Amino acid sequence: MPTLFRFLFICGTIVGLVYLTLWSFAVFVEPRERDVTVRIPSERINPVEQ
């Protein structure tokens, strides 16, 4: 049984570290705002009829 406990402890530690990392990214990292420009070719807006 000690190996099962060790395995579960290691899995729990890894899950906890991943959770802590995701939480710290969500709380401490602020995204930069910027304008986004998407160019649309005129052929897509006004298709040429053949």
**42/49 Cα distance (integer angstroms):** 13
- Per-residue three-class SS string for 18-37: HHHHHHHHHHHCCCCCCCCC
User: How much of the chain exceeds pLDDT 70, in percent?
Assistant: 96
Model-level pTM?
0.58
pLDDT band at 41 (very low <50, low <70, confident <90, very high): confident
User: DSSP 3-state assignment of 46?
Assistant: coil
pLDDT at 42 over 90: no
Enter the tokens of residue 49.
């009829």
**12/34 Cα distance (integer angstroms):** 39
Specify the pLDDT at position 3: 94
Instruction: Work out whether the CA dihedral 20, 26, 30, 34 comes out positive or negative.
Output: positive
